[in-house]
Structure 1
């Protein structure tokens, strides 16, 4: 096993230990720190192995992210933690969708497996992004906390899901036709909203946890 795999395994172990400790309030802080170290190891290892990125740009991104994260962590009250988690979760979903989009627009041949992964990442990431921000809006009072329902809503969601499958398959079969990619993004964004609005504000923490598991 090369040193690269050793560091990746170490990062995975730290992720598992961190998630385990996050399950209890007394160890949650340590769990967050351990998982963060695991992520740092994974990122640094990837940068060293593939080293084709501007390290200065990476450093700027890390500094900006650290400042924003620290500001939220210090200023947000404990009673507002669900809102903060919803925002961070939405950003995470958006980031995964952007990474998939970057991979899709990269020059060169893309295998069917990679295209399938891209379609799935765009779907899950975009759905998580819009759904998480609807959840944030309900918790913060920007959006009505009451369930928003309309006739045929479940049928509409089912049709949206079928259309997503259709366009995703066409994306894999015809990657040169960019309209299929845009269709997956648009339908995923709409589905994230329509799946979240019929749920009341009191159940938003459960929705956030579910969306977090998606991403």
Structure 2
């Protein structure tokens, strides 16, 4: 009995370690195409293990709500995965970030109202940052989803002093958070901080064009991870800290890679530099330029292969059109035919292909 009792006391920690290892392996495997499916599975199993570990750690008396939440979440996730086409992966990612960030922000909000006014300064500071990041990521991700899904205009919303207004709104949320650190009993300041965070997330993404939205989603992913890590400190949950740090750092690295690949700076993305600059350049250089239209000639693999067989080396550049046409199998057949004739076939793939269709 003593051994069983000891095992039960350390079981949540052991499961947390297992879950953290699965999350790390998930990131590692998802970095390569051939192991990406294994990485997705490892991440899903890791999350399930984390939920089970948390249930043991908290010591719930009734598991009905947890089981119900798992069923609802599992069904919703499966439906989105099955119904949404591969070309809609960016908006699928955006809506997932919105749900995750909202969950973290709501837990932080509940923690604030549950412990007010007995929150120490350090906890309030972390909680304030977590709530700000969570709520701005929620509204920002929702706007990103709406733009990519073409439910609202994908054009950047340009208005006078938009950067100044955005900075003032975000600064107001930070100032409200600072005063809450001094005096956590001021409930109205917490509500103001939440509202300003929601508004800033909306303003941040509205000023960015839909074509650059996947890069913004990567940044919002980083914010969601940092929010989860902050919540881990507030709840004294080691796994939340580890998972949030992994999510935040990987999202930030991905955002930097995407900015570099698109010749953009991180600061311009963060403060609405996307879209507006492209629009200005497009409007300035469009005078006197006429669109050239040509008739497209389609052909199948059997027709294309003999024409390309005279080349020593062929480079195929897969793009958004190939994904829309579901032409990957035809391209693979073409590659097999060319290689059978001794032609060297290479694929030129963009550094952030898949995250930024087109």
1:22 is matched with 30
Shift in Å at residue 2 of structure 1? 4.2
User: For residues 68-104 of structure 1, what are the alpha-carbon distances to aligned partners after superposition, in whole Å with 9 as ceiling and x for unaligned?
Assistant: 1111111111111111111111111111110101111
Contact 2:169 2:200 in 1 (8 A): yes
Q: Aligned to 1:13, which of 13, 16, 21?
A: 21
Structure 1 residues 115-148: Cα deviation after superposition (integer angstroms, max 9, x where no partner) = 2222111111111110001101111111111111
The answer for the alignment partner of 2:130 in structure 1 is 121
CA separation in 2, counterparts of 1:62 and 1:2? 24
Alignment partner of 1:152 is 2:164: no
Aligned-residue Cα RMSD (Å) equals 1.6
Q: Secondary structure at the match of 2:33?
A: coil
**CA distance in structure 1 between the partners assigned to 2:33 and 2:97 by the alignment:** 20
Larger radius of gyration: 2
What runs of 5+ residues in structure 2 fail to find an aligned partner?
1-8, 225-358
> SS in structure 2 opposite 1:26?
helix
Q: Which SS does the other structure have where 2:34 is aligned?
A: coil
TM-score by length of 1: 0.94
Which of 129, 136, 142 matches 2:145? 136
Residue of structure 2 equivalent to 1:111 = 120
C-alpha deviation, 1:112, in angstroms? 2.0
1:186 aligned to 185, 195, 198, which one? 195
Write out per-residue CA displacement over residues 182-207 of structure 1, whole angstroms, 9 at most, x where no aligned residue. 11110001100111111111111111
Most deviating of 15-24 and 179-188: 15-24
Separation in structure 1 between the aligned mates of residue 202 and residue 223 of structure 2, nearest angstrom: 15
Moved more, 4-13 or 85-94: 4-13
Runs of 5+ consecutive residues of structure 1 not aligned to the other structure: none
Range with greater deviation from structure 2 (54-63 or 16-25):
16-25
Q: Following TM superposition, by how much is the alpha carbon of 1:111 offset from its aligned partner in structure 2, in angstroms?
A: 2.2
Q: 1:175 aligns with which of 184, 192, 202?
A: 184
Give yes or no for the alignment of 1:164 onto 2:173. yes
Counterparts in 2 of 1:14 and 1:204: CA distance versus 1, 3 Å: same
Cα distance change of structure 1 residues 89 and 180 upon mapping to structure 2, 3 Å threshold? same
Q: How many residue pairs align between the two structures?
A: 215
- The answer (yes or no) to whether the contact 1:83–1:140 under 8 Å persists in 2 is yes
Aligned-pair distance for 1:110? 2.2
Greater helix percent: which structure?
1
Shift of 1:41: 1.7
For the 8 Å contact 1:97–1:121, the answer to whether it is kept is yes
TM-score (normalizing by structure 2):
0.58
User: How much has 1:165 moved relative to structure 2?
Assistant: 1.4
1:31 matched to 2:39? yes
Aligned-partner Cα distance in 1 for 2:140–2:131: 14
